[in-house]
Structure 1
Amino acid sequence: MIKAAFVTQHSNWPWRRQLPSGSTSFAEVQFFANIHDADVVFVYDALPERSLDLRKPVPTVFVVSEPSNVKRYNQKFLAQFDAVITADRETPHAKRILTQAGLPWHVGTMSAGGELLAFPMQFEEFETHSPQKSKLVSVVSSNKTFTAEHRARLEFVTKLKEALGDEIDVFGRGIADFSDKRDVLDAYRYHIALENCAIDDYWTEKLADPFLTSTFPIYHGCPNVADYFPAGAFRTIDIYDPENAVAIIKEVIHSNIAEQNREHLSEARRRVLYEHNVFALLAKVAKDLIATNSVGDKKSIRTLYAENEFLPLPIRLSARARSYVEHRPAVLSILRSFKYKASFAKKRGVHYWKYVTNEFYRSHQQWIANNPSEDLRFRYDLPQGANILDVGGYAGDFVARFRSICDADVTVFEPIPTFAETIRNRFAGDGKVRLYEAGLSDQDETVRFDLDADASGAFGASDGKKVEVSLLDAERVLSERGVSEWHLAKLNIEGGEFALLNRLIDTNRITTIKHLQVQFHLHVPDARRKYKNLAKRLQRTHRLEWRYPFVWESWVRRDDLSK
């Protein structure tokens, strides 16, 4: 029997429940073997320590758990491994295994108090799990709005609730909390499963969990999901075509398709358990690699290093200092006695790693801590009837707040047709809201916007759904608009802010803006350099009021400038 080591920083997760009969084996591969006795070593998501010494020349495999629109892994880090399991077709590795990553199931793991169960649901329990279906349909969303995909999902769920009313139960953080996924699946005939992205071969527990509870999923996400599950076991929707998506949902939930397709649902559950289970996936890869290794592809004895060991030296040293303090309670106590507020002392696991290495995540955590209700974005001393420029109007929430706060005259630019239609309908008959179904930039042009990826927009690369939109030259349009004083301008245009702000500065139009609120985006090529250069240019006319880098920041025109 092949012995496989399974190494991950998520060691507290109940992985073994996905193995049958309480064993450590799957398909003649024994998992959780000692690292020094193993015939193959799998590293899932990240190494738990700075390094891992291998005493035998065995094949090593890294399993990518994050989608490409969330994280790109360091090329030197990946080069240590003999193979990489990934859904990202641009992964820079000679031995790419393109498939789903066997992400762990979530259903049946959490207690009512939100802690991991001491005895979570096991493999055999799922094989026979047949809960009574007494409710119609559920969906899980959240009130997060800091990415384009979050906003699109939230808007879609809002429309869905308006269309279905009490027929649908909406769950999620900040909406209606729940403890375990069983709470939102077991009793329901249908579940609307919305992934965080739409990438080939990338699907998650959002789809696996409904199959494990015999709940028929209505699914937005992985485009080639039919390669993994029988077509009769699910229906797909596109949340960027909300009218059609709502129509499909109504058709499905008002039918008996869940009952009629029980055989397909049972087959989908079998595949989750026996084919797409992480250990089924790794067992197959282990056998293939051992077979390859046996015919002369010999490995060397080596040491594997964590991804942060490939970062620049200053970042590595900073991370080590944080780790040193984090693991020494006495040092922490002393630092806290001096009111030391370093938030790395509160971070654990993946959150700590992101906090150290991900500038946006770090900034966003600070934003949440200091502005849980986001009121800071609306604290401006504006006159009644203030002129406000909203570039990137989305669903019109910013417009609505300032129409209420100061009876503002708002000029709003929104290039995405579905969002523009939402604003048009929301403010129909309101003469103080002027909508342009276009974006602002440094020239007149037509571009293709990516809608599905979190780095949404015309200015960052990804593989999401695209739509053609118009961008207008800001100097021409604002000159024609004839407003001499914008009391507040808000920019959130998914990467287009760099070109737009440079245009406003080049033409001196920036001096007509008193308060400037802007969200910069990291997914734009060379974003950090552009960000620093723009900050220097803005300082000539404005001073910084507050800043959460790449989340939100606010500038105010300097007093020594004429209006």
Structure 2
Amino acid sequence: MTDSSRPTRIKVIRKSMKASPDQTESLLWGDCLFCTDAAMTDYDWVLVYDEFPRTPVGTIRNETEPLLCPPDQTILITVEPPSIKIYSRAYTSQFGTVLTTHSIRDLPHPGHTLGRGCLEWLYIKPMQEILDQKEFPKTKMLSTICSAKQHTHTMHKKRYDLTRYLADRLPELDWFGHGIREIENKTVAMDDYKYHLCVENHLEPHHWTEKLSDAFVAMTLPFYAGDPLATECFPQESFIPIPLDNPQKALEIIRKAMEDGEYEKRLPAIREARRLVLEKYNMFAQTAAVIHNHRETGTIRPGAMLKGRHVLRKNPLHALRELTDTLAYKIRSRGRRGTGTGA
């Protein structure tokens, strides 16, 4: 049982964990305290964000964490879509809940929970500064962040080709990204702009990423090629859909929207979308919702361990299962249209 007078403490495990206590971070979300202290042992829940650190840090050795809470009080957040990464059953079965954009067919799990946009923002400012900001002066028109990657097994190639087509025809478009125009923080590519071009690397219902949520946090109006069901989460007027496979049509939509001043017209909807990201669609809010809905039934199991994907792969049986899961996904996706698999 946890002490109701103190926050529920969540140890956050991720690849980039720091060993030094002064480099750790903590965030209080309601009555949930999220902490990235790798040496933390006094916790109620464990949250693994994608993967374990590959090098020893804190209590984590050889990609394993001695589990000091009940096994059902563990959460995995998947970061990559199935066209890029398959999370093996050996890995996911360790967790009580999996917050994911993968369908339950692609990631079967008894604790499968749809995590809409449940990813870290790459728009980096102190949280309190983001929450307090009320005015958003805009001096520039249109930006995008798109790397030079042109992989064909994902949607990187289509994304790049659309961006290239638009950049060649829209002098207003400032193009940032790895291999194009490097930036350290997405604020540089968003804060001054009214509009932002957002193209996902994987197209499937319920899959939208920080590409969309970051645009809302920065109070831009996104031109969006991605989740066809995004209006289930955000006001219809808060973004403008564009077709990925019809660059000419996308160009017409973007030009008309800017000429008609759609940014100013849609500011109330954009503000509401931003509020939803800040209050509902982020990893802290969605993790807290899982914890609040949880019925405490488990007990700590002495000697229990959480293991990372790479250490599990050392077991030939687990490696084989991951390979078969990957092949099964490729076969299933071959008949899909627009999933970003390149099929």
Q: Aligned letter for 1:26? A: W
Q: CA offset at residue 315 of structure 1? A: 12
Structure 2 distance, partners of 1:55, 1:262, is 47
Deviations 1:373-406 (A, max 9, x none): xxxxxxxxxxxxxxxxxxxxxxxxxxxxxxxxxx
* Mapping 1:67-106, distance limit 5 Å: 67-89=81-103, 90-100=106-116, 102-106=118-122
* Among candidates 27, 32, 45, match of residue 24 of structure 1: 27
Q: Aligned letter for 1:53? A: P
Q: Aligned letter for 1:134? A: T
On the 8 A contact 1:85/1:99 being kept in 2, the answer is yes
* Mapping 1:5-404, distance limit 5 Å: 5-11=11-17, 24-32=27-35, 35-48=40-53, 49=60, 50-57=63-70, 59-89=73-103, 90-100=106-116, 102-108=118-124, 120-128=125-133, 130-147=135-152, 149-164=155-170, 166-289=171-294, 292-293=295-296, 296=297, 298=299, 300-301=301-302, 302-313=304-315
Give the match for residue 326 of structure 1. none
Deviations 1:185-241 (A, max 9, x none): 111111111111112222222112221121111111122211221111111112112
State TM-score, norm by structure 2: 0.80
Q: CA offset at residue 56 of structure 1? A: 3.7
On the 8 A contact 1:190/1:216 being kept in 2, the answer is yes
- Taking structure 1 as reference, are residues 218 and 143 closer, same or farther at Cα in structure 2, changes over 3 Å only? same
Q: Aligned letter for 1:465? A: G
Structure 1 distance, partners of 2:112, 2:316, is 31
Q: Secondary structure at the match of 1:137?
A: strand
Q: CA offset at residue 125 of structure 1? A: 3.5
Q: In the alignment, does 2:334 pair up with 1:461?
A: yes
Q: Secondary structure at the match of 1:31?
A: strand
Q: CA offset at residue 299 of structure 1? A: 5.9
State TM-score, norm by structure 1: 0.50
Structure 2 distance, partners of 1:125, 1:57, is 34
Deviations 1:289-308 (A, max 9, x none): 2xx22xx4556442111112
Q: CA offset at residue 460 of structure 1? A: 5.3
Q: CA offset at residue 284 of structure 1? A: 0.7
- Taking structure 1 as reference, are residues 178 and 124 closer, same or farther at Cα in structure 2, changes over 3 Å only? closer
- Taking structure 1 as reference, are residues 260 and 199 closer, same or farther at Cα in structure 2, changes over 3 Å only? same
- Taking structure 1 as reference, are residues 211 and 462 closer, same or farther at Cα in structure 2, changes over 3 Å only? farther
Q: Aligned letter for 1:95? A: G
Structure 2 distance, partners of 1:56, 1:306, is 17
Q: Secondary structure at the match of 1:24?
A: strand
**Higher Cα Rg, which structure:** 1
Q: Secondary structure at the match of 2:293?
A: helix
Structure 1 distance, partners of 2:70, 2:183, is 46
On the 8 A contact 2:117/2:210 being kept in 1, the answer is no
Q: Aligned letter for 1:5? A: K
Structure 2 distance, partners of 1:462, 1:62, is 29
* Mapping 1:433-452, distance limit 5 Å: none
- Taking structure 1 as reference, are residues 197 and 253 closer, same or farther at Cα in structure 2, changes over 3 Å only? same
Aligned positions, number? 307
On the 8 A contact 2:70/2:298 being kept in 1, the answer is no
Q: Secondary structure at the match of 1:240?
A: coil
Q: CA offset at residue 178 of structure 1? A: 3.0
Structure 1 distance, partners of 2:10, 2:267, is 36
Structure 2 distance, partners of 1:78, 1:461, is 24
On the 8 A contact 1:35/1:41 being kept in 2, the answer is no
Q: Secondary structure at the match of 2:167?
A: helix
Deviations 1:13-33 (A, max 9, x none): xxxxxxxxx973112112228
Deviations 1:487-512 (A, max 9, x none): xxxxxxx67xxxxxxxxxxxxxxxxx
Q: CA offset at residue 177 of structure 1? A: 2.9
- Taking structure 1 as reference, are residues 208 and 146 closer, same or farther at Cα in structure 2, changes over 3 Å only? same
- Taking structure 1 as reference, are residues 191 and 309 closer, same or farther at Cα in structure 2, changes over 3 Å only? same
- Taking structure 1 as reference, are residues 125 and 85 closer, same or farther at Cα in structure 2, changes over 3 Å only? closer
Which stretches in structure 1 are left out of the alignment for 5+ residues? 13-21, 109-119, 317-356, 359-452, 467-493, 496-563
Q: CA offset at residue 42 of structure 1? A: 1.3
- Taking structure 1 as reference, are residues 283 and 218 closer, same or farther at Cα in structure 2, changes over 3 Å only? same
Q: Aligned letter for 1:154? A: Y
Q: Aligned letter for 1:259? A: E
RCO higher in structure (CA 8 A, sep ≥6): 2
Q: CA offset at residue 71 of structure 1? A: 0.6
Q: Aligned letter for 1:303? A: M
Structure 2 distance, partners of 1:8, 1:175, is 28
The two structures, once aligned, show a CA RMSD in angstroms of 3.0
Q: CA offset at residue 145 of structure 1? A: 1.9
- Of all paired residues, the percent bearing the same amino acid is 27
Structure 2 distance, partners of 1:177, 1:9, is 23
Structure 1 distance, partners of 2:98, 2:179, is 37
